[in-house]
Amino acid sequence: MVSADRLAAYAAMSLLLIVIPGPSVVFVIGRALAHGRRTALMSVAGNTIGCYALVAMVALGVGTVVERSVVLFLTLKLAGAAYLVFLGFKAWQHRGALHAQTVAAPERGALRTLWEGFVVGATNPKTIVFFAAVLPQFVDRSAGHVPGQMLLLGLISACIALVSDSVWGLAASAARSWFAGNPRRLSMVGGAGGLAMIGLGVTVAVTGRTD
């Protein structure tokens, strides 16, 4: 399997890349501001599972197909972007009801929130390209079990991302809790969360590969 020095090197590289705020962080912060801590943490879990599903695709060779296919890449990219815009629009549309929801309404369904996070994570083609380019560099082919080595390396990234994104989600939800004392301020911060997700969706759609 993967040697200890390769695992350490990959973990260090993953940590440096993950702690820098990126699309996943913006998504989690947007969910935290729009819906609160529980939704943010469930979104983190779903997003992490979705990203790890991409690791499995790369390990099984499917990621290479997506990486090299313009049609598949653009389809995944636009589907993920559209879903982010949809979630952001819903958050913006219901921003005025946030105060009542925090006081009396039941929390969002855990499975539904987990699924939404999963879809966002699993429809990020840039993650496939990243893993397809990086994972093979840390694999020791002479040791065999190449797919297993990739899955192990991807699991390290997933664990680091789970912790890092959860911290961002907790911090953003703490700020939201402070705004909860004022209905107007809470409406504004909920709307900001929705706009953040819409902006992220638009950014995903217009950036990246065009060839």
Tell me the mean pLDDT per 10 residues along the chain, length 211: 82 81 78 84 94 89 62 69 75 56 52 90 77 79 81 93 92 76 60 70 63 49
The two tokens of residue 22 are 């990126």
Instruction: Give the separation between CA 121 and CA 4, rounded to whole angstroms.
Output: 28
Instruction: Give the separation between CA 54 and CA 58, rounded to whole angstroms.
Output: 6
Amino acid at 26: V
Query: According to the model, what pLDDT value does residue 100 have?
Result: 46
The two tokens of residue 133 are 């380019």
Rounded alpha-carbon distances, angstroms, from residue 76 to 31, 123, 125, 204: 21, 5, 6, 11
Query: According to the model, what pLDDT value does residue 154 have?
Result: 92
Query: According to the model, what pLDDT value does residue 104 have?
Result: 39
Longest dimension (CA), the chain: 61
Instruction: Give the separation between CA 138 and CA 71, rounded to whole angstroms.
Output: 29
Query: According to the model, what pLDDT value does residue 52 have?
Result: 94
- Among residues 51, 76, 78, the alpha carbon closest in space to that of 65 is found at 76
Query: According to the model, what pLDDT value does residue 166 have?
Result: 95
